[in-house]
Amino acid sequence: MIEFNSVSYQYPDGALALNNVSLRIKDGAFVAILGKNGAGKTTFVKCINGLIKPTKGSVIVDHLNTRNESVAQMAKRVGLVFQNSDNQLFASSVKDELDFSLKNVGIPETEREETIDETLRTLNLTGFKEKSPFLLSGGERKRVAFASLICMDQNIFIADEPTQGQDEIQRKNIELLLQKMQEKRKTVIVITHDVDFITRLATRVLIFDEGRIMIDGSVDDMFKSSRVLDLIHVQPTQELMLKWLLQEKGITASRPFSLDQEALVATIVDKIKVKKVNVN
């Protein structure tokens, strides 16, 4: 369980990034966090892994007050993939990056190699094992950061924009990995603007605005209409738009909503009326 009790955080230069936030996140929840740039999302998740200690209020993770725990201690429970992986990676090879994480959580050397190979395989990174993370592409680096966290198998896993910079194959793969975590009853928190992804996986959506939680609800509540997405400047998916249009006609589509492209095209072709326009 994660608990925020009246948490505020002010950066040293005076920016109030979190303003009196209170909430509880139950074990096994899959929470999606959305909000405009600068809304406080990254600051919020950094409070969960103890990188940021609140200036007011308290954050309790599995009965531990983050104020009293070191970042290393919190890292055993909470994995956080940073928004910018350049701030996360430091080792001279991909293998060493994962090895360091595993050593940190007390995995003996004899077991580390196997876990490293297995994790790199799941993230399509096998060929990069001996390479420096700094010689990889942005998308590959993000996956190395992801790998260096999931190999520790913590109970709480947080990813700040995990699909940013990933092509479609890697995006699907990351979605699958997060889904597996959900099946293992881990708590997953994802900051993302990827609505498609949220509608498939999330059980709860938090919308941040100016350091506060503006809306807290289920995916179905959140995406009933375009209202919420308009507020945070996020473009709805085609599936959602179609769902809303059908709703207006009294047809309720279930979730996950999928488009049968061929049926859709057949319907459109059937309905199109060619208007004759006189051009003189």
Ligand X SMILES: Nc1ncnc2c1ncn2[C@@H]1O[C@H](COP(=O)(O)OP(=O)(O)OP(=O)(O)O)[C@@H](O)[C@H]1O
Question: Interface residues with ligand X (CB under 6 A)?
Answer: 11, 13, 15, 17, 35, 37-43, 83, 208
Q: How far is the CB of 105 from ligand X (least distance, A)?
A: 27
Using CB under 5 A as the binding rule, whether residue 237 contacts Mg ion is answered as: no
Cβ nearer to Mg ion, comparing 83 with 182: 83
Q: Can you name the residues that pair with 4 across neighbouring β-strands?
A: 23, 59
Cα(277)–Cα(280) distance, rounded to whole angstroms? 10
How many residues of this chain bind Mg ion (CB under 5 A)? 2
Cα(28)–Cα(187) distance, rounded to whole angstroms? 4
The vertex-203 CA angle with 172 and 63, nearest 5°, equals 110
Radius of gyration, CA atoms only, the chain: 22
Is residue 160 a contact partner of residue 191, using CB atoms and an 8 Å limit? yes
Q: How far is the CB of 8 from ligand X (least distance, A)?
A: 12
Q: Give which of ligand X, Mg ion, none residue 4 binds (C-beta under 5 to 8 Å, depending on kind).
A: none
Cβ nearer to Mg ion, comparing 97 with 160: 160
Cβ nearer to ligand X, comparing 36 with 224: 36
Q: How far is the CB of 81 from Mg ion (least distance, A)?
A: 12
Q: Give which of Mg ion, ligand X, none residue 11 binds (C-beta under 5 to 8 Å, depending on kind).
A: ligand X
Q: How far is the CB of 165 from ligand X (least distance, A)?
A: 14
Q: How far is the CB of 158 from Mg ion (least distance, A)?
A: 12
Q: Which of residues 24-63 bind Mg ion (CB under 5 A)?
A: 42
Q: Is 255 left (phi over 0), alpha (psi -120 to 50) or beta?
A: beta
Q: How far is the CB of 34 from Mg ion (least distance, A)?
A: 11
Structure token digits, residue 101: 């994480």
Strand intervals (E) in 26-155: 30-35, 56-61, 64-65, 78-81
DSSP secondary structure of 194-244: -HHHHHHH-SEEEEEETTEEEEEE-HHHHTSSSHHHHHTT-PPPHHHHHHH
Using CB under 5 A as the binding rule, whether residue 85 contacts Mg ion is answered as: no
Cα(206)–Cα(226) distance, rounded to whole angstroms? 16
Cβ nearer to ligand X, comparing 8 with 155: 8
Q: Give which of Mg ion, ligand X, none residue 15 binds (C-beta under 5 to 8 Å, depending on kind).
A: ligand X
Using CB under 5 A as the binding rule, whether residue 164 contacts Mg ion is answered as: no
Cβ nearer to ligand X, comparing 128 with 157: 157
Binding site for Mg ion (CB under 5 A): 42, 83
